[in-house]
Chains A and B, each alone.
Chain A
Amino acid sequence: MTATLTEPPIATKPTSAPVRERRGRGGATRALWVLPPLVLAAGFFLYPLALVVKQSFVDKNENVGLDVWRDVLNSPSFGDALWNTVKIAVLSTLGCLVVGFFLALVLSFVPFPGSRAVSRIVDTVLAFPSFLIALAFTFLYGTAGVVNAAADKLGLGEPLVGFLYSPWCVVLAEITFYTPFVMRPLLAAFALVPRERLDVAASLGAGPLRVIRQVLLPEAWPALAAGGSLTLLLTLNEFGIVLFIGAKDVTTLPMLVHAKGAVTFDYPGACVVAVVEVALSLTLYTVYRFVFSRTGAGRAGLVA
């Protein structure tokens, strides 16, 4: 009894020398692994970002202050660009969610010849640069595009399709390009839903819409939210499609950065817009992480 009481508790036992040595070696190895990516991140991302932030507070006369921010934030062009950016991103994301959900549903549960090929094509689209879609739209729906040329041959008169230079064309192009970003996680989620679950739901008297609403959608929600959030982030920052479409009066934040930086050479103004764009993206990403950690999607491996 006495011996037990006088013996030091296990938790406070001093760590033996070999264990300490091993831990020391392990820590050094970890540091060696962590250091290169940290250096790369600092050199290629954090430092340029810091420069952009710094530049946004320095006006053309090298005076440091909030004047540039005040000028940019009060300008009508910034307000329009912000509104256009949010409007196009939200509409595109909603479109992607609707179209992506429907296509993923068909590909997963309505087998047809060639469905695997379509699935592969979806994967391929993910690797394309976005401006390709804008270019394709120009060939298809431009004044001298395929659709209007065919309409002209059929004697339908005036250009049949004239929406190429409207904001709606930007939205349509973004839906076309970003829908696979919603479909991919959805296809993965649907692949995990046993077919029997849908069959049994139907046998219990549920029609197709009820099965989709009450059985499939709850299971697809994390994937839908993940794909939708990613699409919203990407469409907020989309530049190639907007530039190539060249829609009239459609200036988004990335376009404004480009205009200020490369056309009017207003670098401080470009930096302010860029910082706003980054802040917008980071805020959205934070909300996305927060929502997912609360809904449990993170535990399902849908949030990195």
Chain B
Amino acid sequence: MTAPAIERTASAVASAAPTESAIGIQDLTVRYGSVTALEGLTLEVARGETVALLGPSGSGKSTALKAVAGFLRPAEGRITLAGRDVTYEPPNKRGIGVVVQNYALFPHMRVADNVAFGLRARRVPRAEVGRRVTEALDMVGMAGYARRYPRELSGGQQQRVAIARALAIRPPVLLLDEPLSALDATLRADLLGELQRLRGELPDVAIMYVTHDQTEALALADRIAVMRDARLVDLDATDRLYRRPPSEFTASFLGAANLLDARVLADCTAGDDAVRVAVGGLTVAADPTGAFAEGTRALLVARPHTLGVAEVDRADTLPARLVATQWRGADYRLTCVLEGDVEREIRIDVTDLAAVPALGERLGVALPAEPCVLVPAGAGG
């Protein structure tokens, strides 16, 4: 698990409350026949802001993007771009840049013609077209490939061209639908860096970024909208959503956190600094994300990298049994089953392991010194 970059924190918090709306979505519902693909989505994206729609397959995130682009007709709701109602406008009237997973380059056109396509469709003067094509290709580092055909490029290069093509029309809104999903891990990491750089070069462009990959969302987004089963589950600034996930689903999906069964030992509200909870045989301090009554069952959110391992007989640890070990180069991922009334599988990422414990060995799981976040149990979103 990669923690979000520290420099993102300030911008994320600053943009938590959108100011000038670039994209407005109100109560948007999309249906395919009797199947509801998106239900009641309300979301605003400010000018210059990046919002990631994050969720598993079938959560409705791509449907939301397609509705904003005009590729799908909503059953209910309203879409505005810079305050203008575009709900029933065709895609060619919306002025949005769109980048999709499979690049969607025109195979019979050279790279330069692909990038020029939107400019020619908008009847931009010929001299201007050439200049802007060069400028867009320069932005993505593909200026040397203008004469090539898409089939002569790698997947990463094709996606760069697709991004250049979308940017060439200078759209106020850029929609990216899983743009890195078709690439291998190395290319994905490279292009993610490129997107971060581009993000900095386009301070006025509102970006809606659809992904199922939390790393991309954490690295790029000012805010993240977590989606599940056609609905919006949680929406908040990236940093806050990662550090204080308000629901069980967001906690487990964003950062793959461990969820430990806990019992609240005193009444508390979301504003409280900490509340005492019982976890296994331990009593620890927790950071409540909402109001909890004394005796309520809740879930303690513990990221794998915040947990540690110790001797099993240590009093401040939870006894567990090791069931799997995975060496990942930079660290070990230990999968353990907590001993107790309810056996729960947890994952621990440790970098400094003197000796790898044997499978089946009992060990103590040490909770982080800082209070873990407490979320309601069973409210998966």
> In the complex the two chains form, what is the Cα distance from A202 to B91 in whole Å?
6
For B66, list chain A residues within 8 Å (CB). Answer: 199
Verify A202–B90 contact, CB threshold 8 A.
Answer: yes
Once A206-B117, A206-B121 are accepted as A-B contacts, the answer to whether A201 and B106 lie under 8 Å apart by CB is yes
Q: B121 CB to closest chain A CB, in angstroms? A: 4
Instruction: Tell me, rounded to whole Å, the shortest Cβ–Cβ distance linking B176 to chain A.
Output: 12
The size of the chain A interface, using a CB distance under 8 A, is 17
Within the assembled complex, what's the spacing in Å between the Cα atoms of A204 and B104? 12
Q: Which interface residue of A194, A199, A215 has the most chain B CB atoms within 10 A?
A: A199
List, in ascending order, chain A residues with CB within 8 A of B360's CB. none
Q: Are A219 and B108 in contact (CB under 8 A)?
A: yes
The interface size bin for chain B is: 20 to 34
Interface contact B102-A194, CB-CB below 8 Å: yes
Interface residues of A in 170-228 (CB under 8 A from B): 194, 196-197, 199-207, 210, 214-215, 218-219
* Cα separation A200 to B166 with both chains bound (whole Å): 9
Given A199-B69, A199-B71, A199-B98, verify A207-B92 contact (CB < 8 Å).
yes
Nearest B-chain residue to A205, judged by Cβ: B121
B residues within 8 A CB of A206?
Answer: 92, 117-118, 121
> Which among A194, A210, A219 is the interface contact of B104 at CB below 8 angstroms?
A194
Given contacts A203-B92, A204-B118, A204-B165, contact A197 B106 (CB under 8 A): yes
* B322 contacts chain A at the CB level, 8 A cutoff: no
Q: Pick the contact of B121 from A194, A204, A218 — CB < 8 Å?
A: A204
Would you call B70 an interface residue if the criterion is a C-beta within 8 Å of the partner chain's C-beta atoms? yes
Query: Pick the contact of B91 from A194, A197, A203, A210 — CB < 8 Å?
Result: A203
Determine which residue in A196, A205, A215 has the highest number of CB atoms from chain B within 10 A of its CB, and name it: A205
> Pick the contact of A200 from B94, B104, B108 — CB < 8 Å?
B104
B96 contacts chain A at the CB level, 8 A cutoff: yes
- Residues on B with C-beta less than 8 A from A205 are 92, 95, 118, 121-122, 169
Residue of B nearest to A210 (CB): B121
A296-B98 Cα distance, complex, nearest whole Å: 31
Q: CB of B172 within 8 A of chain A?
A: no
Residues from chain A with a CB closer than 8 A to the CB of B91 are 199, 202-203
CA distance A194 to B104 in the complex (A): 7
The answer to whether B102 and A196 have CB atoms under 8 Å apart is yes
- The interface residues of chain B lying within 8 Å CB-to-CB of A203 are 69-71, 91-92, 94, 96-98
A220 to chain B minimum Cβ distance, whole angstroms, is: 11
> Nearest-CB distance from A208 to chain B (Å)?
8
Interface presence of B290 (CB below 8 A): no
Q: Which residue of B lies closest to A200 (CB)?
A: B104
* A176 and B254 alpha carbons, distance in the complex (Å): 59
The smallest beta-carbon distance between A279 and chain B, in angstroms, is 35
B107 within 8 A of A: yes
Min C-beta distance of A286 to chain B, whole Å: 26
Chain A residues with CB under 8 Å of B94's CB are 203
Please tell me if B38 contacts chain A, counting CB pairs below 8 Å.
Answer: no
Cβ of B259 < 8 Å from any Cβ of A? no
Whether B100 sits at the interface, judged by CB under 8 Å, is yes
A127 to chain B, nearest CB (A): 32
In the complex, how many angstroms separate the beta carbon of B209 from the nearest chain A beta carbon?
16
Separation of A199 and B62 alpha carbons in the complex (Å): 14
Cα distance, A214 to B122, chains bound together (Å): 14
CA distance A197 to B162 in the complex (A): 11
B102 contacts across to A, CB distance below 8 A:
194, 196
CB pairs A–B below 8 angstroms (19 shown): A196-B104, A197-B106, A199-B71, A200-B104, A201-B106, A201-B117, A202-B91, A203-B69, A203-B71, A204-B97, A204-B117, A205-B122, A205-B169, A206-B92, A207-B92, A207-B121, A214-B117, A218-B106, A218-B108
Those 10 A-B pairs whose CB atoms lie nearest each other, nearest first: A204-B118, A205-B121, A202-B91, A206-B121, A218-B108, A196-B104, A203-B98, A200-B104, A197-B104, A205-B122
Residue ranges of B at the interface with A (Cβ–Cβ < 8 Å): 66, 69-71, 90-92, 94-98, 100-102, 104-108, 117-118, 121-122, 162, 165-166, 169
Chain A residues packing against B (C-beta within 8 Å) = 194, 196-197, 199-207, 210, 214-215, 218-219
Known: A194-B104, A196-B100. 7 other contacts (CB 8 A): A199-B66, A199-B69, A200-B165, A203-B97, A204-B97, A204-B117, A205-B169
